[in-house]
Amino acid sequence: MSVNQHRYWPFFSTLLFLSLMACGEKSENAKSVDYYKGNLEEAKTTLQKCTALISGEVSTMSPSQRAAWSETTVGINCENARVASVDSAYDAHQQRMREAAAKY
């Protein structure tokens, strides 16, 4: 095979990856931020999977492919789990600050 035949391989492999992810996830709806706030352990697990995915396959995608991935169920779940985790950490910090202020 010549170099020209391999030139489109990254594009087609990424397209195949996105297609398979979309097909595999159609039966499952994206989970909301509120869902992840109520299920923080699942949010942590989802974040771990997303971190591995983002540092691996997603990092090699072009910006337009990453944008398309972020609109898939997996991409939406990653973002919602991240937001729920950050909100939960902030809420816990605010609670500790209120408790500390109540001492004085």
- pLDDT tens-digit map of 76-92: 999 999 999 999 999 99
Over 50: is that where the pLDDT of 25 sits?
A: no
Structural domain that includes position 85: 3-102
- Closest Cα to residue 18, out of 46, 80, 60? 60
Distance CA 69, CA 86 (A): 22
DSSP characters over the chain: --HHHHTTHHHHHHHHHHHHHHHHHTTSPPPPHHHHHH-HHHHHHHHHHHHHHHHTTGGGS-HHHHHHHHTSHHHHHHHHHHHHHHHHHHHHHHHHHHHHHHT-
Averaged pLDDT score across all residues of the chain:
83
Structural domains of the chain, count: 1
Over 70: is that where the pLDDT of 104 sits?
A: yes
